[in-house]
Amino acid sequence: INSAASEYFPSLTIDGNTLVFTRRVNNRNEDFFISQRIQGQWSNAGPLPGDLNSEDNEGAQNIAQDGSMLVFTGCNMDDGEGSCDIYVSYVTKTGWGKRINLGTAINTEYWESQPCLSPDKRSLYFTARDPSGFGGSDLFVSQLQPNGRWGTPRNMGPQINTSGDESCPFIHPDNQTLYFTSNGHPGYGGTDLFLIRRQPGGGWSTPQNLGYPVNTIDDEGSLIIASDGKTAFFASDGSDSRGGLDIYSFELPE
């Protein structure tokens, strides 16, 4: 999985056997790589097959739980609406298809990034820097409409978003628990990891800091949790890194 280059933004299918991540190739170009878990061991990662990787930067991706589609971020692309936009690609018999911009329903002249699909692929969570928000970057959610198009994104509100930066949303396979990073809620250091749980009325609980040892005085970044609810994957430049950021996993504390 890991190399002398930087690897980050891991994403996982619900069966836990397909890992897609971003690698910075030649220290400049971001591409997607994929590894399969076979008999408990990860295969050597290779470039994502198909037409998705390009000379442009593709990153901050999330693979659908069933492995059928990939939502991701593309910046400064010729078909973009703003600085960074959200795109989708669908898997085909010959690999992953070309990128498709999600259009003006999701993307604006501002910055949209770090998309995450709900397990049923009907909700799209993402990060945006929109002047109408609460400051910095906020978390937004859009719902898939009956006509197959994404609805107008909704800011997730002041209980979740602060005057600081909220980012890296990840909705767990249970579709009830959302993890994100924030430097606006009380924490241990720069950016900490938090979770919220869906409430019976459809709202969300108060953000809960994941606590030490997950959070430290340093910046904690994107985190994903496997469907078993225990195994976490994240990127770090730890002392045993093979170079730059590497992908790690650990078992979540009770």
Average pLDDT value for residue range 140-152:
95
Average pLDDT value for residue range 182-209:
91
Percentage of residues of the chain with pLDDT beyond 70 = 100
**Predicted pLDDT at 140:** 98
| Cα–Cα dist 192/210, whole Å | 8
Question: pLDDT tens across 89-109, in order?
Answer: 999 999 999 999 999 999 999
Residue 187 has pLDDT above 90, yes or no: no
**Predicted pLDDT at 245:** 86
| Cα–Cα dist 188/121, whole Å | 33
| Cα–Cα dist 135/132, whole Å | 8
**Predicted pLDDT at 231:** 93
Residue 48 has pLDDT above 90, yes or no: yes
Enter the pTM of the model.
Answer: 0.93
Percentage of residues of the chain with pLDDT beyond 90 = 74
**Predicted pLDDT at 36:** 97
Burial class (CB in 10 A: 0-12, 13-18, 19+), 204: middle
**Predicted pLDDT at 137:** 96
Tally of CA atoms within 13 A in the half-sphere of 202 that contains its CB: 0
Indicate the average pLDDT of the chain: 92
CA angle 87, 9, 21 (to 5 degrees): 80
